[in-house]
Structure 1
Amino acid sequence: MSSAACSQDYSFGPHTIHASEVFVESTLSFAFVNLKPVVPGHVLISPKRVVPRFAALSADEVADLWVLAQRVGAAVEPHFGATSLTLTIQDGEQAGQSVPHVHVHCLPRRAGDFEKNDEVYDAIDEHTRMHRPGERLDLDAERRVRTRAEMAAEAGALRKLF
């Protein structure tokens, strides 16, 4: 697995993930920062081959994807001061998948970041928008589209963890 600056862009369904947004890659997968993170440190891990559904991945791709997700989670959890992780795949449109390319969401979690733990899935889906005071996230304030420079800076910081 390589943590050196990625030298190529990758396809993420119909989108391009620029090399500056990738912070680690393996033989068959890559990890990159999220355009609209739900929580600080919310990153994505995806196979290099564009595959819309999980069942269409080869056994080698499945293993490589989850090994990289495990490695990414182990690094981002302490880096973002979290105490737990949510690792999830939305497999298909009715499951909330918005980009037709398999990807694992890796979210560093802290106590109280959501009133009810499963609300994290609503936040990932973007179907539920709630204003919640106190320790919980205000999704309208916290989840915003970031600039390429912001994403490149975060990927650069995460690259150093690998």
Structure 2
Amino acid sequence: MVSVHRAGALLNEASCFLCRRRTHHHLRFPTPGFALPREASPSRRSSLAAPFGRICTRAQAMGTESYTFGPYKIHPGEVFYSTDLSYAMVNLRPLLPGHVLVCPKREVKRFVDLTVDETSDLWVTARNVGAQLERYHRASSLTFAIQDGPQAGQTVPHVHIHILPRKPGDFEKNDKIYDAIDEKEQELKETLDLDKDRKDRSSEEMACEADEYRVLFS
């Protein structure tokens, strides 16, 4: 006879297995939920699939701590790394596999308004997260980007660093990635404003991705 505890574990593993199957599907056959770069070469598309190999356990979510991103609430299950001053979360509309955001916990609109401690912690967090995701996604480089203010493309009034693991050929022209980030930033705000519209990626898919990354820091 299977114990209640074991049965629950099996259900959880099955749920995450199905989640990974859907995630692979989206990555290999692009849908509005995972937009490939407009400049990406078709021959490189197969390399965009993320190596989701581990079993994800949503029970490992970041406790009951609450997170905000500007005026929006972020579900703890979408946060995979946290310090006293910063946190890292998966992206609702990732531009590339491993495209995540690192934010200060305190709601701060502009980079200049961060304290010295917050600035240091934010970049140390970004460094640590970037290093792990570059290795995890078998990338060879990283893009770190901040849009500091509306004219710089910032749409959510909360300082955040975009981190994107990079591979050869992911963009035909490297600088095009910044245009793509601007576009995704606007789409992110529009989707957050319409929180009920989660057609791009479901909360379950985002939680499973966060679980995959959370293991890297355990």
TM-score (structure 1 length as normaliser): 0.85
SS in 2 for 1:30: strand
CA distance in 2, matches of 1:9, 1:77: 27
Instruction: Please list the CA deviations of residues 45-88 of structure 1 after superposition, one character each: whole Å capped at 9, or x if unmatched.
Output: 00000001000000000000000000000100011121100001
Q: Equivalent of 2:113, from 52, 56, 60?
A: 56
Paired amino acid for 2:61 = A
Paired amino acid for 2:200 = V
Are 1:72 and 2:129 counterparts? Answer: yes
State the Cα distance separating 1:145 from its structure 2 match.
2.2
Unaligned runs of 5+ in 1: 128-143
SS in 1 for 2:216: coil
CA distance in 2, matches of 1:85, 1:157: 19
Q: Equivalent of 2:209, from 134, 147, 154?
A: 154
CA distance in 2, matches of 1:110, 1:145: 24
Are 1:98 and 2:155 counterparts? Answer: yes
CA distance in 2, matches of 1:86, 1:79: 15
Q: Equivalent of 1:27, from 84, 92, 117?
A: 84
TM-score (structure 2 length as normaliser): 0.64
Structure with the largest fraction of strand:
1
- How large is the Cα RMSD of the aligned pairs? 1.2
Q: Indicate the residue corresponding to 2:145 in structure 1.
A: 88
Q: Indicate the residue corresponding to 2:176 in structure 1.
A: 119
SS in 2 for 1:87: strand
CA distance in 1, matches of 2:200, 2:80: 19
Unaligned runs of 5+ in 2: 1-59, 185-198
CA distance in 1, matches of 2:70, 2:200: 18
Are 1:36 and 2:93 counterparts? Answer: yes
Structure with the largest fraction of helix:
2
SS in 1 for 2:134: helix
CA distance in 1, matches of 2:71, 2:170: 31
State the Cα distance separating 1:110 from its structure 2 match.
0.5
Runs of 4+ more than 6 Å apart: none
Q: How many matched pairs?
A: 143
Q: Percent identity?
A: 58
State the Cα distance separating 1:117 from its structure 2 match.
0.3
